[in-house]
């Protein structure tokens, strides 16, 4: 019966996130359509509706990802995936777009440079197949960004965006400028900004950039205050470890030293502006 139901669901939606090890658990976050937003020939921003079959028509294959399994503390995961660069090449980018903003169903917001898309041969996943020993968190749904085996990008939260509802072509400079101005000339704050951009901004927005899945840190903590800085460090370690409920082990991407640099940046931010 499980095979019949799964087959029917795949035909009905065009996207199937496998949880065949737990047939009694309903599928989570089924995504029937997503959008690609870009500038048309007249320079106007338009959105196209895409489906998994349309994306897969560009060419899809089943692959594995050591990068994913390492980040998720899983093993032998399999994915049906399409080349991200092949998708990008289908759009005429005439406004200097050099990145793709990834807006997600759960208010997470990723961003990838086109350079990274090409350099690491990133993939867009339409089907996720986990082993019977793996527990899938609610956010782990297509579309998913995937690093294929054989590629070695930096180990960062940046390359783990999932549950994508929209891909939007943007300019990196436009996106990051409000955040970069706050870092100023401080080397520590500049380093902290880079760590924050690669691992934290996707959940914790600043200056209208990033996602809103997590708390707005400048409202929760006064980073100019020593006790609040200590409280932030303690709270980070309590939540962002590998055994947290969401399985978002950000602690693996952010070392103790990098976390201190993030605090330097947010302190600088607190002193110059309010979010």
- Strand 34-39 to 164-170 pairing: parallel
pLDDT band at 238 (very low <50, low <70, confident <90, very high): confident
Q: Do 147 and 210 belong to one domain?
A: no
- Whether the Cβ atoms of residue 130 and residue 136 lie closer than 8 Å to each other: yes
Q: Do 112 and 196 belong to one domain?
A: no
Q: Do 166 and 220 belong to one domain?
A: no
Residue with tokens 């999932």: 162
Q: What is the tally of structural domains in the chain? A: 2
pLDDT of the residue at 246: 62
The secondary structure of 8-23 as a DSSP string is HHHHHHS-EEE-TT-T
Q: Do 20 and 125 belong to one domain?
A: yes
Q: Do 212 and 265 belong to one domain?
A: yes
pLDDT band at 243 (very low <50, low <70, confident <90, very high): low
Range from 49-63, 199-213, 247-261 that averages highest in pLDDT: 49-63
When comparing pLDDT for 151 and 135, which is higher?
151
Q: Do 123 and 180 belong to one domain?
A: no
Q: Do 40 and 160 belong to one domain?
A: yes
Confidence (pTM): 0.83
Its domain, for residue 101, covers 2-170
pLDDT band at 241 (very low <50, low <70, confident <90, very high): low
Instruction: Look at residue 28 and tell me whether its pLDDT is greater than 50.
Output: no
Q: Do 224 and 156 belong to one domain?
A: no
**Residue ending a domain, choose from 127, 153, 170:** 170
Q: Do 161 and 28 belong to one domain?
A: yes
Residues in the chain: 275
**Residue ending a domain, choose from 119, 142, 170:** 170
Q: Do 77 and 125 belong to one domain?
A: yes
Lowest mean pLDDT among 22-31, 137-146, 175-184: 22-31
- Whether the Cβ atoms of residue 225 and residue 263 lie closer than 8 Å to each other: no
Q: Do 125 and 245 belong to one domain?
A: no
As a whole number, mean pLDDT of residues 228-250 equals 77
Range from 14-18, 192-196, 242-246, 267-271 that averages highest in pLDDT: 192-196
Range from 8-12, 115-119, 210-214, 258-262 that averages highest in pLDDT: 115-119
Q: What percent of the chain has pLDDT over 70?
A: 84
Mean pLDDT rounded to a whole number for the chain = 85
**Residue ending a domain, choose from 121, 153, 170:** 170
Instruction: Look at residue 160 and tell me whether its pLDDT is greater than 90.
Output: yes
Q: Do 196 and 225 belong to one domain?
A: yes
Closest CA to 206 of 165, 178, 245: 178
As a whole number, mean pLDDT of residues 235-241 equals 77
Measured CA to CA, the distance from residue 182 to residue 206 in angstroms comes to 11
The secondary structure of 70-112 as a DSSP string is HHHT--S-EEEEEEHHHHHTTS---S---EEEEEETTS-EEEE
Contacts of residue 223, Cβ cutoff 8 Å, sequence gap at least 6? 229, 232, 263, 266, 267, 269, 270
Measured CA to CA, the distance from residue 76 to residue 58 in angstroms comes to 25
């Amino acid at each position: 019966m499980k095979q019949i139901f799964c087959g029917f669901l795949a035909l009905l939606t065009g996207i199937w996130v496998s949880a065949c090890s737990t047939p009694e658990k309903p599928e989570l976050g089924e995504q029937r359509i997503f959008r690609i937003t870009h500038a048309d020939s007249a320079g106007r921003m338009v959105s196209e509706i895409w489906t998994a079959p349309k994306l897969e028509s560009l060419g899809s294959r089943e692959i594995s990802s050591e990068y994913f399994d390492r980040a998720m503390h899983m093993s032998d995961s399999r994915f049906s995936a399409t080349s991200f660069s092949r998708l990008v090449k289908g759009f005429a980018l005439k406004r200097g777009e050099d990145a793709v903003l990834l807006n997600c169903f759960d208010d997470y917001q990723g961003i990838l440079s086109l350079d990274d898309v090409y350099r690491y041969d990133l993939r867009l996943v339409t089907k996720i197949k986990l082993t019977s020993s793996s527990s899938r968190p609610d956010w782990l749904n297509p579309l998913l960004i995937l690093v294929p085996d054989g590629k070695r990008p930096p180990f960062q939260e940046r390359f783990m965006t999932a549950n994508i509802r929209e891909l939007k072509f943007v300019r990196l400079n436009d996106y990051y400028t409000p955040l970069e101005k706050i870092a100023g000339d401080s080397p520590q704050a500049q380093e902290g900004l880079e760590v924050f951009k690669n691992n934290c901004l996707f959940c914790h927005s600043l200056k209208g950039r990033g996602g809103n899945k997590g708390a707005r840190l400048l409202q929760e903590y006064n980073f100019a205050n020593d006790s609040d800085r200590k409280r932030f460090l303690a709270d980070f370690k309590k939540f962002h470890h590998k055994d947290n409920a969401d399985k978002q082990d950000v602690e693996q991407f952010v070392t103790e030293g990098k976390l201190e640099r993030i605090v330097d940046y947010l302190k600088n931010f607190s002193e110059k502006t309010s979010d």
